[in-house]
Amino acid sequence: MGTYSYRVFWSDEDNCYVAVCPEFAQLSGLGESAEKALSELKVAIALAVETLEKRGEPVPEPATQPDHSGQFRLRLPRSLHAALAGRAELEGVSLNTLAVALLSRGLESRRRAACFESPADANSPV
């Protein structure tokens, strides 16, 4: 059995820790501690793998960490593109350098604000 990904969190609804595995979305482990929940999930995964193998069904492959190239394409309105290009020119930097600086600043502001957010806000992508 490969090494699968795990996520453990507290569930107010279940009043216990819950462990889940993206590769086996239908399985979970519950426990009074994070360690116990993870242990229960690992038992469930081992049994699922055993069952799938006995049936001759495919066993999910462990997820791998994506290799990020450091590049992505971004589509934006022409007016925003023009405004960013103008600002980059004023500051004497490339549009790419300006975009990296603005994104970095935005992420840092988001990180600092996170300590003041409610748990529901923390899952927001912006």
Q: Report pTM.
A: 0.54
- Evaluate if residue 14 carries a pLDDT over 80: yes
pLDDT digits (tens, 9 = 90+) for 66-108: 788 888 888 999 999 999 999 999 999 999 999 999 999 999 8
Query: Side chain identity at 87, as an amino acid letter?
Result: R
Q: In whole angstroms, how far apart are CA 44 and each of 2, 12, 38, 57, 69?
A: 14, 22, 10, 17, 35
* Domain match, 44 and 12 both: yes
Question: Is 70 part of any domain?
Answer: no
More confident residue, 21 or 115: 21
Q: How many distinct structural domains can be found in the chain? A: 2
Inform me whether the pLDDT recorded for 39 exceeds 90: yes
Domain that holds residue 95: 78-122
Mean pLDDT across the chain? 89
